[in-house]
Amino acid sequence: MLIHVVQKGDTLYKLAQNHDVSVDDIAAANGLSNQNVLVIGQSLIIPTEAASHRVRASETLWQIAQRYGVSLQELAAVNQITNPALIYPGQTIVIPQPARPTIEVNAYTEKFGSAGVEIVEEIGEYLTYLSPFSYRVQADGSFTTLDDSAIINAAYAKRAAPMMVITNFENGTFSQDIAHAVLSDPAIQQKLISNILATMKQKGYLALNVDFEYVPPADRELYNAFLQRLVDGLHPENYLVSTCLAPKLSASQTGTLYEAHDYPAHGRIVDFVILMTYEWGWSGGPPRAVAPLNEVNKVLSYALSVIPAEKIVMGMPLYGYDWTLPYVQGAKWAPTVSPKEAVDRAGKYGAEIQYDDESQSPYYNYYDEEGREHIVWYEDARSVQAKFNLVKTYKLRGFSYWVLGVPFPQNWYVLQANFTIKKLV
């Protein structure tokens, strides 16, 4: 696989001829519905195993490394290049073909019934875990139920382990009151744990994910104690236990979202943690990349200082947002856009896609029919490859997608080109 950025004058036919692949293969790898429309700046997967690359004018070794999904250091070493800045047009660069590391992949889904089953049947082969979202815990230790039997059966058919998700979510937000009621009462916790075990056995869940957010900071130690009780109750039944952690930069980070999430304690108590490394750019906030690599890397740096790498699962978004400009706080929130929709929209409005090197994310501006300016930040093959490179560099346990149901064909192709997916079923 290589990643090509569309330039003026490119056509699928020309690209297919240049790389000795078929037009249909390129279209399929990228989920292209219209083979005649390409957008300048759009990233395209070229499904070919490249053993070498001929340097083009103004091309850098870093760009070549990004295109083929290898590290700059590895590319320089293989080609005995002591100064990565000194390459020249026409030079042949050998592309190393590393063994694919084995990782775990989780994905959350809010799609149930036939729609959910269809998604699992399409991409379940790429998953270690499928996490239906979510069982909502109540203050008395009970929880709402899900009609999840169909997608659980579909998960098993694809050898994806169903992971039960419990949250303190209520009325569109995470409830501090529910979290406190549960965490401050051991009797309620025991009832909750009994209900969890009964449901896991009945439904066929193999793992549990605890996504308690906005826990009162004063309940930090109570939350840690609850997790230990969960592990003590579930491990004898051979169930895995994981948690979601807010993206912290340090142990002293303030804010209700962060303070009760004790990285060292979670890393010690549970089997693995999922870092929610997304939503820097969010629907109600100012425009920016959803998961900028520079910010994600800061969170990983702190996490790795207090949690073993083999217990860290990095969060990844499957979506972007379309903001209307100028951004006004409190005004209409930005709608979600899938990567496929983002490219189609750029084509519709004649926008040229840009790529921000710091955040390693694509974006573009356009004007709609009413003359309003928009900016779209989303994910593409380049941005997910950059995130995959982090997982490789730090030897993480894997990564977790939020959320299925957003069309992003490129992601799954890049995923299988980079990794072998561990299966527990």
d(CA 424, CA 149) in angstroms, rounded, equals 19
Exposed e or buried b per residue across 188-206, where buried means at least 16 C-beta atoms within 10 angstroms of its C-beta: bbeebbebbbebbeeebbb
Do 174 and 213 meet the contact criterion of CB atoms below 8 Å apart? yes
The active-site residue, picked from 59, 122, 213, 373, is: 213
Q: Which helix (H) or strand (E) holds 163?
A: strand 161-167
Residues 131, 63: Cα–Cα separation, whole Å: 35
Q: Where are the beta strands (DSSP E) in 122-267?
A: 129-132, 135-136, 161-167, 169-170, 173-174, 207-211, 240-245
Q: Across-strand partners of 5? A: 43
| Structural tokens at position 86 | 């000194």
Answer yes or no: 213 catalytic. Answer: yes
Q: Which residue has the tokens 């020249």?
A: 88
Q: Which of 235, 240, 190, 184 is nearest to 210 (CA)?
A: 240
CA-to-CA distance for 237 and 230, rounded, in angstroms?
Answer: 11
**DSSP category for residue 235:** G
Decide: 257 and 244 in contact? Cβ < 8 Å.
no
With CA atoms as reference, report the closest residue to 159 among 198, 120, 195: 120
Which value, in Å, is the radius of gyration of the alpha carbons in the chain?
23
Task: Give the C-alpha separation, 338 to 345, whole Å.
Answer: 10
The β-bridge relationship of strands 361-367 and 354-356 is antiparallel
410 secondary structure, DSSP code:
H
Q: How far apart are CA 120 and CA 40, in angstroms?
A: 33
State the amino acid at position 101 in one-letter form.
P
Place of tokens 């560099």: 393
| Contact status, residue 230 vs residue 193, Cβ threshold 8 Å | yes
Where residue 420 falls (left for φ over 0; alpha for ψ -120 to 50; beta otherwise) is beta
Distance CA 264, CA 164 (A): 23
Contacts of 263 (CB under 8 A, 6+ apart): 245, 248, 251, 273, 302, 303, 306, 307
Catalytic residue ranges: 213
